Structure 1
Amino acid sequence: MENNNIPDNAFIEQVTQRFGQIYFSYDITGSEFRYISPILEKFWGIKPESILSNPATFLTSVHDEDKEFLSHQYQKLLVSHEQTQAEFRIVLSNKEIRWVCLSACFLQDEKNHQNLIGGFAEDVTAHKEYTTNIMKYNNKKNSTLEILSHDLATPFANIQGIISAIEEQMNQGDVNIQQLLSYIKQDALRGSDMIRDFVNNEFLESSQVVLHKERVDLASKITIMMDNYKDQEQLVAKSFKLVSPKKPILIYIDMMKFMQVMNNLISNAIKFTQDNGIITVSLEDKEEHALITVTDNGIGIPAKMQPFLFDRFTPARRAGIRGEKSVGLGMSIIKTIIELHSGEISFDSEEGAGTTFYIKIPKE
């Protein structure tokens, strides 16, 4: 075979340059880096030599809010010896913030009696920005659909009521008009059901897809979602409030599915809360988990229904205040998605006083 005269190291460097990945190996025993790709300087703004001579230099560029997280991931790798992946932020010399995804594994060099960590890091800032924009528009779509289905349910219900009243007062012999009114009534009901079925189907399909977790600022995402609802308060005659810390809450979740969970809980709150009611979403940063609560001051859940609320096709299903349709799948899907995140969901409810749902999601 013809020799292409490209040394192995040079070939590796060409690959790392092409794919924008920073490869490294770290000697745990000696607490020092043995190798770092030269491309580090291009993407990170730090010369590899600086870190090779002083490993602590690496941490100086890590965002202050991520240093503890990264340290914990390192200790976790030392204990488990399992391949791990961590997303964190770095702050460049010009104060620009970049997202980095680091993949690492534990290795043993038996010949030299050394324990090593090897892996690679890549800049995922563009992906994060892309995902954020998708989430922004997806949240707006979900909240708009929920508002739309709720808002259109009212005129449809009114149409059905008026038609029923006309039917009672009509001359029984006027068959043709009765038939036309029957068609209108059926179309109004079909239109309302189609909207609700569309929203339900979107949610059902979401629960059947494998989770794609990433580390995101949950506080920021929920704030965007609630802003969408606040913009439409007059349409549903409800007030929406958000209680959230100003600092980021960084957590690994599948944002697309998790925000569908949040939208579904808010949709339920809208369905069972009278006009001028208040729906409040709260977010707290606990030591080991994030706690999200969704509270309304609506009609509450009857005590006899509460034990079955999370059952699939639950007997606890019921129409909303304005007759909104329910197939009894929503809460079971919510519970499934939360449990896929290794989380917990519970609730408190009192008839005539309202309902509060509690969601706990572990930070890792």
Structure 2
Amino acid sequence: MDGSSEDVRLDGIFLELQFSTMQVGDEKHLVISLRDITERKHTEQEIRNQNELLRLSVAQAEQANRAKTLFLANMTHELKTPLNSMLGYAQYLNMPQLGTLNKRQTEAVSSIETSGRHLLKLVEQILEYSRMEAGRIPLDRSNCDIAGLVHQSLQSFSTICKSKGIELIEDLPTTPVRIECDQTRIRQVMDNLLSNAIKHTDADGEVQVSLLEGTENILIRVKDSGAGIPAEDQDRIFEPFEQSVSGRSRKREGTGLGLAIVKRIVDMHQGFITLQTMEGSGTTFTVGLPYH
């Protein structure tokens, strides 16, 4: 019994009852003390209540997120079928067997095809991101020459850069640099970053791409000479469906998923992506990928 305690409740008041013994001469005495712990008990109960509310809120948020992901996946899948049909009919109208179209008709069909392909690309981006969120896109890792992969991505954008009057500067190692990665997904990262940089760079500007070999990671840098990203937009630039509201992208079309997909893929590779920007002075994205 020495040093023991017990909590008791009396009409809403919580008391801590403590027992101990004390030796006085040849006699041993029982010492009983009472301490009011009502406030502590109320605080503990309030903490339990708040924890339960938090648990329920987290569960509801997770359920809502799963429902959103499922909805996006189903919705985009259903949209692809009529879009592909529309594009098919537009191509069918251009077939010579149906007769020759006049100039206005040709322009109208071309507009249908262009708009349809743009919308299909947006739908596919939404579908892909929803699959990534649901964890349904595993990585297919293999040994890859990352320098060669980056070069291939740059080559695919050379024509559009020339047409826009943008200088594409390449600073890559001349020998292979090998890492373990999903080549398709890392090519997707490069294509998204380059597309983003070119989209936000005006004529007579430049886009620079470099690759550095660090001790633990490969560093890929994509730098543009565009308008930069305002400070208030930088913290959420990698969030899905987010776009800068500055002049950098106010007139640009898109889902706001490109950089979110980039970050998701980089995270899946246990890598990192950073942003350096100043409004009016361009933007640099740096991707770090581990060798293994």
State the TM-score bracket (shorter-chain normalisation). 0.5 to 0.7
1:196 aligns with 2:118: yes
User: 230, 240, 249: which is aligned to 1:302?
Assistant: 230
Task: Give the letter for the 2:272 counterpart.
Answer: E
CA contact (8 A) 1:204 1:333 kept: no
CA contact (8 A) 1:271 1:322 kept: no
Please list the CA deviations of residues 86-144 of structure 1 after superposition, one character each: whole Å capped at 9, or x if unmatched.
xxxxxxxxxxxxxxxxxxxxxxxxxxxxxxxxxxxxxxxxxxxxxxxxxxxxxxxxxxx
CA contact (8 A) 1:315 1:328 kept: yes
Q: How well do the aligned residues superpose, as a CA RMSD in angstroms?
A: 2.8
Could you tell me which residue of structure 2 aligns to residue 264 of structure 1? Answer: 192
Deviates more, 1:203-212 or 1:220-229: 203-212
Aligned length: 181
Change (3 A) 1:348 1:320: closer
1:225 aligns with 2:148: no
User: 238, 243, 266: which is aligned to 1:338?
Assistant: 266
Task: Give the letter for the 1:244 counterpart.
Answer: L
Unaligned runs of 5+ in 1: 1-180
Could you tell me which residue of structure 2 aligns to residue 323 of structure 1? Answer: 251
User: 263, 275, 293: which is aligned to 2:203?
Assistant: 275
Task: Give the letter for the 1:255 counterpart.
Answer: Q
Deviation (angstroms), 1:245: 1.1
TM-score between the two structures when normalised by the length of structure 2: 0.55
1:215 aligns with 2:143: yes
Distance 1:255 1:272 in 2: 26
Q: SS where residue 290 of structure 1 aligns?
A: strand
Deviation (angstroms), 1:349: 0.8
Greater C-alpha radius of gyration: 2
Task: Give the letter for the 1:268 counterpart.
Answer: N
Task: Give the letter for the 1:197 counterpart.
Answer: L
1:243 aligns with 2:174: no
Deviation (angstroms), 1:203: 4.3
Please list the CA deviations of residues 192-218 of structure 1 after superposition, one character each: whole Å capped at 9, or x if unmatched.
654433334444555532110101111
Change (3 A) 1:283 1:309: same
Change (3 A) 1:264 1:228: same
Change (3 A) 1:281 1:203: farther
Unaligned runs of 5+ in 2: 1-103
Deviation (angstroms), 1:314: 1.9
Distance 1:233 1:264 in 2: 15
Aligned residue runs from structure 1 range 276-291, under 5 A: 276-291=204-219
Task: Give the letter for the 1:198 counterpart.
Answer: L
Aligned residue runs from structure 1 range 30-109, under 5 A: none
Deviation (angstroms), 1:296: 0.3
Change (3 A) 1:327 1:317: farther
CA contact (8 A) 1:347 1:358 kept: yes
User: 250, 253, 256: which is aligned to 2:181?
Assistant: 253
